[in-house]
Amino acid sequence: MATEQQDTMEVPAVGRSRHLLDEVFGEADIRINGDRPWDMRLHRAEALDEIVARHSLGLGETYMRGDWDVPSLDQFFYRILTADLPRYIKPWRNAGRILRSYLINLQSRRRAFKVGEHHYDLGNDFYQAMLDSRMTYSCGYWREAKTLEEAQTAKLDLICRKLGLKPGMRLLDIGCGWGSLISYAAKSYGVECVGVTVSREQSNYIAETYADLPITVHLRDYRSLDQPFDRIASVGMFEHVGRKNHRTFMRVVKRCLKKDGLMLLHTIGKNLRHSTTDPWIEKYIFPNGELPSAGQITDAADNLLVCEDMHNFGSDYEKTLLAWHANFERHWERFAEQYGQQFYRMWRYYLLSCAGAFRARYIQLWQWMFSDRLQGGIERVS
């Protein structure tokens, strides 16, 4: 009788969490305390409860605290996303976040500078150590490249060739980063460039580094732009625009683009229209960020601009992220005291989880070409 009573006693919470995660991870061929590169090494059993209760946030925050490790995080996330384990998140868990994204303009003018302060103003020396020599913080083009430097140069040249840049043209770069595109275009194609950023660090860097080039940089929100340009580019910025502002962004482009002009939009994109930003990424990496779907982009341009071309090379982002991670690891000792161990684990988690997501084709990288009904269209450039 005593044995029967013991058998019916409630299983401890940690035991239930371990059983559930063993089952869920098993679908992705991931083992807790296994010995393969993609297996989870658990250091604190209670972390499993937090992962079960808080899903993505719990997974990321317990990793940041050192509660578990995986030798190859990119493989771990590749397997999770390929097996579509996010489907285990109950729809009601995201209902509030989805509703919030529709009701509140998370990327309003008032909030526009938050991501610059939180992410891009970490320190120019930090990004110089992680990125290529031009500090290009977007996907490289690896078709013929063998190094990060070659891939980023190839990407910049691809953009310039797609835009058909010629001496004397004026190029606007919406979200110009540390000036990699505008400096390359000014030097290699003889164009006058205007850049817009919400990061003080980026603005100061461009003003100091490229004072000898025909470049003007503005610390301002894109919605205030109203000058005419021959060509417009936006590289890795549209992810911060948000669905409530997609149409506004396209109206700004139409307002600033000359009748015979072209606009290139380089952005990460998601496969599902009705989905929200990963809560860990939103909290720790890109506040108020939101990836667009292909349908949302075309909706935004509807009856304003003509889509001339769309090029997907999302698989190249995995290589780019792994190259950034290698640089980050190589130079970490320089920054360890300044940023601390939790930042190290956060940044490693960010870079490698994203690499796994691109490898799994869970997210994409698109280059869209738009015109204002350009006569004759354009020829595909690759």
Q: Which residues are catalytic?
A: 354
How many whole angstroms separate alpha carbon 297 and alpha carbon 316? 21
Angle (deg, nearest 10), helices 73-82 and 315-339: 130
Q: Quickly count: other Cβ atoms within 10 Å of residue 133's Cβ.
A: 11
Write out the two tokens for 180: 């990699």
How many whole angstroms separate alpha carbon 351 and alpha carbon 287? 16
Helices (H), the chain: 2-7, 13-26, 47-64, 73-82, 91-103, 114-115, 124-130, 148-163, 180-189, 200-209, 246-256, 279-284, 294-301, 315-339, 341-359
Single out the residue of 319, 352, 362 nearest to residue 74, CA to CA: 352
Write out the two tokens for 145: 């490249």
How many whole angstroms separate alpha carbon 182 and alpha carbon 137? 13
Angle (deg, nearest 10), helices 315-339 and 148-163: 120
Single out the residue of 239, 231, 256 nearest to residue 369, CA to CA: 231
Q: Token pair 């010629």 is at which residue?
A: 166
Return left, alpha or beta for 177; rule: phi > 0 is left, psi -120 to 50 is alpha, else beta: left
φ/ψ of residue 41, rounded to 5: -100, 110
